Structures are given as structure tokens and as C-alpha cells.
């Protein structure tokens, strides 16, 4: 079974995954747009999330082994995925995967840095597209620029509506293409701000 959800708060995501386990759905994998579950017996499990990337495979394996030695099974995550999911398998172990408050908060700092880096990486592309007139910022102020039909706005009656409805799908496509990068940059910066806010709170 697949569930499509998105979280910017680790605590909320953990609570949701634990609740799904109590409903009889065992979390198996995080996908790009959601989560995969397998039917299972309802269980009270503890799932915790870290956010960490690794340059070397060996470092990632040492990281996973350290948690497993502390009673936490690594459910999902790769050395470059960032998100790392752990399930508590030792009932005698600690309820948290972090030994102190700073370690718990640092995962939000790493998440914030990731979103900010993604936003910054798109800025040179956006600047290049604007400088070559591939993207016209003026369209945000005047959407009429998306329509290329000569004299469209001087037409009247059925001539106008026929031309307008014919070109609107193409105009919307051009508008989506031109606005996608600014929208992604804004969205990533918002996620970075939310994660940094949680970092300060922790």
C-alpha cells in the first residue's frame, strides 16, 4: 500500500508512522512522493528519523551499525538519501535515538541546510534564463504577455473568444514553464525556514 504525504516536521512524521503501525501497516520504504506499507499485525512500535548524508559507503555502514548496536533497526535510507528511518527493536533501549538535545536538534539544522542548498543551486539557472530572455519576469505582472496571437486583445466577440480559448492552453504551458523555477526556489526557501525554526525551537 502507498500513502502520499509530505512532512516538514520530523516529530509529526514519526507520530504518523507509529500510528500507521498501530493500525496494522508496517512501514517499509520512503519514496519520492510518499510511503510504502505492508499489511501486518497492529503493533506499538517506535520509529525515529534522522537526516544525514555520507560521502563514503563505509561511513554510512558504520553509522547504521552504531544505531543497531543501540537497539535500533535501520528500516530505510541510503548514504545519499538524507532521510534515515529507524525502528526500535530492543525494549530495554532508550526511547530516543539521540543521546542529547543538541543531537536531536541538529537533524533539523541539516535538513534546513539541504533545502537552502537546493534553493541556491537553482539561482544561477534562473539568472541565466532571465539574462537570455528565456524567462521574462514581466509576465508575472502582465500575464497577457503569455499570448502570442497578433492583435488578440484588439479582437471582439466570437473572434476574440475563439482565439483566446485556442491559445490559452499554450499560454498556460508557457506560464508554467517560466514560473516553475521561481516557485521551486520559493518553496525550498520556505522549507528551509520551517526546518530552521524547528532547529531553534529544539
Q: What is the pLDDT of residues 113-123, one digit of tens each?
A: 999 999 999 99
- Residue scoring higher pLDDT (186 or 126): 186
Residue 129's pLDDT is what?
80
Residue 138's pLDDT is what?
74
* Domain of 56, in residue numbers: 2-97
Same domain? 175 vs 113: yes
Query: Cα separation of 52 and 6, whole Å?
Result: 18
Give the C-alpha distances (Å, rounded to integers) separating 120 from 55, 70, 189. 21, 37, 9
Same domain? 43 vs 127: no
Same domain? 185 vs 167: yes
Average pLDDT, integer, range 10-18: 94
Domain boundary, last residue among 51, 66, 97: 97
**Helices 101-131 and 10-22: crossing angle, nearest 10°?**
110
Count of other CB atoms within 10 angstroms of residue 111:
26
Same domain? 187 vs 110: yes
Domain boundary, last residue among 50, 76, 97: 97
Domain boundary, last residue among 97, 131, 149: 97
Q: Which of 44-53, 59-68, 98-107, 132-141 has the lowest mean pLDDT?
A: 132-141
Same domain? 141 vs 81: no
Give the C-alpha distances (Å, rounded to integers) separating 1 from 36, 74, 96, 128. 6, 20, 28, 42
Same domain? 72 vs 154: no
**Tens-digit pLDDT profile for residues 98-153:** 777 888 889 999 999 999 999 999 999 888 888 887 777 777 678 788 888 888 88
- The answer to whether 167 and 146 have CB atoms below 8 angstroms apart is no
Amino acid at each position: 500500500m502507498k500513502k502520499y504525504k509530505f512532512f516538514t516536521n520530523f516529530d509529526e512524521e514519526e507520530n504518523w508512522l507509529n500510528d500507521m503501525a498501530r493500525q496494522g501497516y508496517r512501514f517499509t520504504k520512503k519514496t519520492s512522493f510518499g510511503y510504502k506499507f505492508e499489511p501486518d499485525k497492529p503493533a506499538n512500535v517506535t520509529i525515529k528519523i534522522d537526516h544525514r548524508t555520507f560521502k563514503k559507503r563505509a561511513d554510512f555502514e558504520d553509522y547504521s551499525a552504531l544505531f543497531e548496536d543501540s537497539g535500533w533497526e535501520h528500516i530505510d535510507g541510503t548514504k545519499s538519501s538524507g532521510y534515515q528511518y529507524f525502528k526500535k527493536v530492543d525494549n530495554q533501549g532508550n526511547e530516543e535515538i539521540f543521546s542529547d538535545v543538541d543531537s536531536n536538534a541538529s537533524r533539523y539544522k541539516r535538513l534546513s541546510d539541504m533545502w537552502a542548498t537546493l534553493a541556491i543551486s537553482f539561482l544561477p539557472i534562473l539568472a541565466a534564463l532571465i539574462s537570455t530572455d528565456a524567462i521574462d519576469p514581466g509576465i508575472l505582472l502582465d500575464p497577457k504577455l503569455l499570448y502570442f496571437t497578433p492583435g488578440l486583445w484588439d479582437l471582439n466577440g466570437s473572434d476574440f473568444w475563439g482565439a483566446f480559448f485556442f491559445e490559452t492552453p499554450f499560454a498556460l504551458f508557457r506560464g508554467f514553464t517560466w514560473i516553475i523555477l521561481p516557485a521551486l526556489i520559493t518553496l525550498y526557501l520556505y522549507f528551509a525556514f520551517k526546518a530552521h525554526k524547528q532547529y531553534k525551537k529544539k
